[in-house]
Amino acid sequence: MGIKTFIIDDTVTYRKILSDVVAGFPELELIGSAPSGVLALKKLALTPADLVLCDVHMPDMDGVETLENITKLFPKTLVVMVSGETTRGADTTIKALQMGAVDFIRKPEGNNFEHNIEQLRTDLRPVVRLVSIRLSSIKTMVRQALTPVRPLGTASTLATNAQTGPTLPPPSNFAILAIGVSTGGPEALGKFIPMLPQLLPVPVVLVQHMPPMFTKSLADSLDKKSQLRVVEAAEGDRIEKGNVYIAPGGKHMILRETAGTIMAGLNDNPPENSCRPSVDVLFRSVASVYGSKGILSVILSGMGNDGMLGVRTMKRKGCFSITQSEATCVVYGMPRAVDEAGLSDKSMPLLDIAGEISRLLKCK
């Protein structure tokens, strides 16, 4: 039996397109659709779903309100937002992701039916993999809760083993905080960044895997709720303490030093780890520019292993590495890669990380 999937969209055309796309995935089983959030909630009460594909903008009850109700009424159901490529759509999508939507896909532009189908198939493929991992993880956690002793060789055991081996002691002083995050990032960052103190004595550089336009909305959202200034990085930005610089979607971000001034640079070099921006690209440049001045890295929730090699490069300069704990990740992929490589100095629950950073940076 496949992943029970339900579609919510107010247009007949997109319900048809999404239905055809879902039918093309053997892992998915389409169990119904609805033209509104109100009707969808009634149908979901009768036929529970594992996955809901929810349009962002709908009359009466929009996607965010629908998500809020699904999360409250059907906590085991995973919601993926379907967003238009507009600033308004990006802003609302970021809000939905910060409220707990596991991911989003974009509605293709144009009227070419076959092209739209193919584009949605491409965009949905990693989402299907993510949902499969999440559902498997939920089942594993339920089994573990019913099992008194955790069997040897699980991912958690491997991560714990990696953490027990001490690495270099933390630097006595730090000059920069470098962060990598992917799936689950907007929700994690929405909790984590506002917890950082206003007088942070270092700059923060951050890669969140996300397309163009959405990183600007993410930066604006975080800036409104944080004590720090949060911006989408631009070419030539001076990297200054107390500011958070988010790599723009679709661009690699690097740091470079000119005449004693450290600035952000952007480029269109090929993706690394299928990602642009890539955490590894940023982290390599951080290692090059900051060297042994003191680097603090944080790897949060995300699929894949982007960032692991970058952390390894920075560790050669004496970097202190923190990873988000498995139990608090939407997807324990990127942190797992760092943990299992023995590169994490400390694995912590998300809500404890900001406090540890404040302690390491000696914030008052």
Do 96 and 56 meet the contact criterion of CB atoms below 8 Å apart? yes
62-67: long-range pairs with CB below 8 Å, 24+: 62/37, 62/92, 63/8, 63/37, 63/92, 63/96, 64/92, 64/95, 64/96, 64/99, 65/37, 66/8, 66/37, 66/40, 66/41, 67/96, 67/99, 67/100, 67/101
- Catalytic residue ranges: 182, 209, 306
Buried b (16+ CB within 10 A) or exposed e, 333-361: bbbbbbbbbebbbbbbebeebbeebbebb
Cα–Cα distance for residue pair 360/354, rounded to 1 Å: 10
